[in-house]
Each structure stands twice: as C-alpha cells, then as structure tokens.
Structure 1
C-alpha cells in the first residue's frame, strides 16, 4: 500500500469504512447495553452522542488522513513533531487489539460449524450454553496451556482470511468489502430479524428496544452511567482512535466530500446496530427470555445466551441449527472486515512513515500478531483476552482519544482541519461551533470521565493495585498495566531507536502539514 495508492471508487471507501466500523460490537455489545439501560432510552442517548461527538471525530480522522496521505504516526507528526507519540500509541494499541480480535474471529468461525450441535439440543438451553466452552476447552482462569486442535485450525483459517483480504492493499480490500462491507451482514441480519419478529413474543421485544424506559434508569440511579456508556459505545463502534480511519482516509482522492461520506458511514453504523438490536430483542422475547437474561458482555451474549435461545427457537432441531449457523455466519462477515482493517491501520502507519514496502510490512505484522495470538487459544486464553481487552479498550483507547482531541483542539490550528473536512462540501457543512465544541471541549471531558469511571470500577473490584475480575495481580500487571505502559511509551522507544540509527546514516521521513 504505497503512499500514492487510492481507493478505486467512493463506494469502495464507504463500504470499507462501514465494514470496519460495523463489527462485533454492533451485533452483541450494542444490544446488551440497550437491554441494560431500558432499550429505547439507550438508543436515544446513543443517537444523540453519535451526532454530537461521533461524526466530528470520525470526520476529523478521515480528513487528516486525506490531507497528510499518512497513517497515524505521520499524520500526527505533520501537525506537530512532538505529537508523533500519539500516532505511535494508537498504532501500538491497535496491534495489541489485533492479536486477540483475530481469536474472537476464530471463535466465530468455529461456532459456524459447532452450531450443528444445536440440532440435538431442542429444549435444552443449559446444554447449548456449554457448546462454546466445550469447543475452546477454556479453564476460565489464567491456568492451562493446552491448545485444542479445533482452535488451531480456526485460528489458522482466521489469519489466512485476514491476510488474503489485505495482501494487495486497496485492490483486495475493495473486492472483499463489496460483499462483507454491508451486503452479507444485512442479508443475514434481515433473515434473523424476520424470524424474530414473526415469533409470538417478537412484538414485545420490538417495544422493549424502541420505547424509552427512563423511569427504570432513573430509579436505579444509572443516568450518568447510561450517558457515559452510550458515548463509549459510539467511540468503540466507529473504529476511531485505532489508526484505522486515518489510514483509510489517506487513500482518498482530493475530490472526496469528507463530511458527507463520514455521515453516511456513521448512520450506516447506527442502522446496523439497531437492526442487531431488533434481532437480539425479538429472538430473546420470542423464546420466552427477557432483557434480564441478556448481558452487556459481548462474549457472554454471543456464545452463552444466544445458544440458549437457539435451543428454544423451534421444536425442530435442524431449523435451530440452521439459524444458529446464520447468526455466526453474520458475525463472521462483521468480524473479518474489522479484523483486517485493524491490521491495515497498523501497516499503513508504519510503512508510510518509514517508506517501506507495504506488502512486506503487512506480511510481517500478520506473522508476528498471529504468533502472539496463540496465547489466546490456550485453556487460559479467555482470561488473558479478558484482561488485555479491558486495558486496550477501556483505558488505552479512551486516553488516546483524549490526546487526539488535545492535539487537534489545543495544539494544532482547528480551522485547518475544519477546512479539510468542508473543502468539497456544498450545502451540508460542519460548522465551527459543532466541530470546536466537540473536539476541544465535550469529547476530551467526556472521554476522561469515561476512563475515570472505568478506573474507579477497576480499583473498587480489584483493590489498590487494580487486579480486577478475580485474576491474580501478576496477570493484570503483565496483560493489563504492562500493555498500557508499552502502548504509551512506544513512541518514545521508537524515537530513541531512530536517533541511534540516524548516527549510522538512517534518514527519517519529515512530515509537514502543507
């Protein structure tokens, strides 16, 4: 993916961006949070947060990518050389996420096959809920190094698919996203939604999803947490703060209408989230379950709760198995785009900044990440994934977002970025009050609040050292605090290595916002 590489068309860019944004979080985390916070109440706050904060940050990343023709590292260095460490943090954190996201993709691929077991589990939800654990052989602790052969096969297949999708840059990505970007996920989701709505309890599920229940939220004292979690889901869902959208923006032509395309991407992401909510809510209520049976944990929702629903879907085993397979095929199409886009964000950031052969960089990154990901398919893999995911998403990514807002809103000139956003816009433009209010004030404050609440919860559950979820302190230090430290010092380490290499003739690319 050389510096002058471009998307083949506007539609390809939009589909690739939607494919990256629309991921597993839309299919399982969004419905879980909606169930936790009164259905329509969460949906309403989420939509408002998307408009106020999500769209400005998404357009910001796409615009600076197009302007600089660089990945995250080069883009932030072009605005201020001292802010290059922000790009390094985003890139390193994205790499850490890629190592375990590929394993989640592998789990989903394996469950497509293991869904056939639902055929013999009619009326046996407890048995269905154990399929995932029998497949992964997870111990639920950090103990155990045994690796099930089925997970070896699934992980190899996952990485093979990820690499195949990005091996030729925008050319191969463009071919894949025609199907996985929106088409196949919509087909699968619509099939499941029609089935859910047609079930006896389906309409009740629809009402629970769309009718706000603020009374329950207020009575439970969850108003502040509802707002913060809704905003957090917006940031997670749009693939921002992960070096991805900067990379995708760097392949855009100068004629692109950034604000218009970014809005389309954001609204499509919202649409898929709502459709996923329809599927989950109608299915749950259709089989006699309620929102109380759902979980804000995506893994629990997808691999424990949904199989229970499949066991009670109909009295015909093969139909239950078929719908289970459709569900996991849908998750597969959602997961693959997000997985390869994360690798793309890392690869573009490094190859563009150091002017390296992008195909070789992509191959090396995939190989290293694949080796590391083996840790997450061991018996203790689920526990390690839980630890690393908590730090990379709930702390690292949020702080990276704060730093991005500080660089754009307080260090660099905001009017230059806003000009890039509106450069080809006509009737629909982003006004300064919207962009400035979001990036300079609202986003960093809300993100810091979100991170602060997460840290408060961490220490409340794990004691003074933050050893959360019952895992030993050393595992939290290694997989949590250690990863966080590496993410935020990666830029300083890189600069140190570069200074040493410069003494031996190495020349670093000089970035400049022209």
Structure 2
C-alpha cells in the first residue's frame, strides 16, 4: 500500500508532528480569550479535567483507529465496519471545510507580521486597521496565497521529509518564543492616568484564580461548552487528522506514552499562551481588554504592543512569527489529511493530489476572502451568532460536524465493536495502558451523552426542545 511508504521515523517525529497539528491558532488565539471571558482559573480547571477525560478518549480513539487500520479517515471506518463507511465521509468533510478558511486566517497573521517588520507598532494599533485590511479586495488574497503556498510546499515534501522535518524545527522554536514572551509579560507594569499601577503579576492572578462570582448552573454549562469546543479545536480530534497521522505511526511506537506526550505538549502551550497574553492585556488595557473576545489577537494585542514603546515592535514581530509557525503546522495537518485521503481514494500520486487540493484551497479561500467585501452578507447561525462566509464554514465544521462525528464514533466504538478493539491496539506490544478502564467507561457511558448535549446546544436545538 502507498500509505506504508509514508511513515514517521519514530515516536519523537510522530509526537512533534501530532503536537504541531494540535498546537495552532486555537491554542494561541482562541484559548486565551475564552479563558479571559470565562472566569480565568475556573475555565482552566474545567479545561484540564476535559483534556484528561474526553480529550484523552477522543485522541486515543483517532490515533488507534489510524494505526490499526493503516488507512486514512475516508476508509478507516469502512475497514472497521462496512455499515459505518459513511462516517469516514462525514469526517472527510471537516478538514475540507476548515481548509477553506484556515489559510485566510494564516494570511491575516502574515499581514500583521509584515506590518511589524516594515512599519513598526503604530499602524497595526490604529482603530480600523484590521477592518480596512480584511474588507479590501486584493490584499487579503495576496497574503492568503503566501501562507497557502508555504503549507502546500511542506505537504508536497511528504511525511518524513516534509511534515516531520519541519515539525522538528518549528515546534521547539515555537515553544521557546512562547516561554520568552510569557516571562516578559509577567515583568510588565503600567501607570494609568489616575496613578493606578497595573502589573503583570496582577494579571497572572486574574488568569489563575477561579472567578465564581455570579456563577449559575446555566453559566457553568456555557463555560463547559466553551471548554469542550476548545478541546475539539485544539487537539484536532474528530476531523480525521489524527486518524491520518495514526496511519503513519509504526507498530513499535508506544501509543499510550505518545498520547500522553501530545496531551502535555498541547495543554502546556495553551496554558503558556494564556500566561503570555492575559497579563499583558490586563497591564495595558485593564479588565476591559480582557473581554474583547475573538478580536483579542488582531485588535487588542497590537494596542498592547504599541504601549510597550520601542520594545513593542520586537515583541510584535516575535508574537506574530510564533503565531504564524503555529498556524502553519496546523494548516499542514489539515491539507495532509485531504491529500492523503484523496491519494487513497483516487489512486493518484502525492504531487498530483497536492496540486488538486492546493487549487481547491486557493479557489475556496479566495471566496472566503471576498466574503468580507464582494460577497458580504449577515447570516444568523443556529447558535444565535451572526457571521459571514468564514463564520458559516467554521460553524458547520466545529459546532455541527465535530460533535456529531464524536457522538457517532462513541456509539461505534463503545457499543458496536467494543472499547477493547481500541485498547488492544494501544497495548499490542505489551505496553501498559493505565487509563484503560477509564477509557471504556467514558467511551460507553459518558462521551455519547455529553456529545449529544453539546450537539443540541451548539446547534440551537436545546432551546427548541427544552
């Protein structure tokens, strides 16, 4: 099989590549603003519990399915049971949708990195800078193309020479940059006009200490849903990526140990990202800056960097360079999943499928870019939010398909073929699987119920039914 010709050289290569997929814009952009919005330390505790339970179950399932079947997501479920072949096609739709807009966000990052290199901190911090950029006709497409070309090049080089090689380089650099900026954020201080001094350590306390003031059952469920959606986005589960990467893992790799390392790496980067961003935003923008939501990266942080004086330019360059690395490793994993699946489906070479998938990504990404100008419209989504084309694609993939796929997978593994099918793969070389019993209980009884509730709430069906 062609798949067998492509494999990671060993455990370290697999862990770094999988961590590269997991560590992306979701960790550095999405995690800090959700944490700031949802009570700081309270969100942290809930997220950590979910990582150790649901994250561990979903990650183990995807990787084990990939290695055991030696197939990509499109055909892996058919190899388990012919009646469940449709689940592979549903899974394939997720990266196909994500690929339409991930390069667009990557282009935004490249634009900001370029701005800090060329013009410094003043321009990106101006009101309306981000809006004027994304609503322009040509500029977003140009920067999107640059990011997409880099992604396609890495995927074209293949698994060991491309994905693994660049993950080995980019992930350590990414980690060093995050740690460096996080330490710098804690040393910051700023005196306001009324003489009040805000420090990075004060921002740290806001980040780490749970805020339960006014907490209700409904509010707790909302935080739980935010944390669960972040889990999907962060660990790259239920979208075929980890199944694809699992199919490249050699049989002698200790899966249980590798999965633990991926969990630690991904959660550690998310934690450090919050440590890097939240104290800095608090120092220069106060508690108002903490509630800026998804705009935290492109609207609030440039103001933070501008407030740092001469050092702000270098911090801005380091931050967006780091964010670009994270986005690139994640986008590579999304494109690799599409290429690998299509290679298996159409029996074409990697070169041909890279060209085809690259063309598809380019055309759809251009349409998403034009969604902020030529194709602009306001669309009310089932979850109550209002968005454009990018928001629609993100909603279908993350709020609709991913919890639905996780629900169906938990039924297949938990009740149709049994959790032992997965645990046997994890322990096939005699390795210990300390969370084996926990895996079986969660997969059979807990994951299906929680995923059903999540699916209902994220699609608006919860309010209709209840």
What residue in structure 2 maps to residue 109 of structure 1?
110
1:199 aligns with 2:200: no
Q: Does 1:302 align with 2:302?
A: no
Q: Which runs of 5+ in 1 are unaligned?
A: 139-146, 461-514
Correspondence for 2:256: 259
**Shift in alpha-carbon separation, 1:429–1:459, aligned structure 2, 3 A:** closer
Paired residue for 2:316? 324
2:460 to 456, 461, 464: 456
Query: Which of 378, 383, 400 is the matching residue for 2:405?
Result: 400
Paired residue secondary structure (1:6): coil
1:390 matched to 2:391: no
Alignment partner for residue 336 of structure 1, among 322, 328, 331?
328
Q: TM-score, normalised by structure 2?
A: 0.89
Distance 2:235 2:218 in 1: 28
8 Å CA contact 1:257–1:425 kept in 2: the answer is no
Question: Aligned residues, how many?
Answer: 441
Partner of 1:482 in structure 2?
A: none
Aligned 8 A contact 1:71 1:247 in 2:
yes
Give 1:46 deviation, angstroms.
0.6
Q: Separation in 2 of the partners of 1:305 and 1:228?
A: 25
Deviations 1:125-148 (A, max 9, x none): 9x534222222226xxxxxxxx22
CA distance in 2, matches of 1:452, 1:291: 32
Matches of 1:280 and 1:120, distance apart in 2: 17
Aligned counterpart in structure 2 of residue 137 of structure 1, from 128, 135, 138 = 135
CA gap 1:120/1:362 in 2 versus in 1, 3 angstroms: closer
Deviations 1:256-306 (A, max 9, x none): 111110111011100000000001111112214226633442xx1111121
2:204 and 2:278 in contact (8 A); partners too: yes
Unaligned runs of 5+ in 2: 190-198, 377-386
The correspondence of residues 217-232 of structure 1 with structure 2, limited to 5 A, is: 217-218=215-216, 221-232=218-229
Q: In 1, Cα distance between the equivalents of 2:364 and 2:12?
A: 35
State the secondary structure of the residue aligned to 2:9. Answer: coil
CA contact (8 A) 2:121 2:312 kept: no
Corresponding residue for residue 422 of structure 1: 427
2:147 to 158, 168, 174: 158
Residue 210 of structure 1 corresponds to 208
Structure 2: how far apart are the matches of 1:111 and 1:253?
Answer: 40
Whether 1:289 and 2:290 are equivalent positions in the alignment is: no
State the distance in 2 between where 1:56 and 1:291 align: 37
SS of 1:303's partner is coil
The CA deviation at 1:85 is 1.0
Checking the alignment, whether the CA contact within 8 Å between 2:13 and 2:168 is kept in structure 1 is yes
- Alignment of 1:2 with 2:7, yes or no, is no
Q: What is the TM-score of this pair, normalised by structure 1? A: 0.81
Contact 1:21 1:338 in 2 (8 A): yes
Q: Please report how far the alpha carbon of residue 312 of structure 1 lies from its aligned counterpart in structure 2 after TM superposition.
A: 1.9
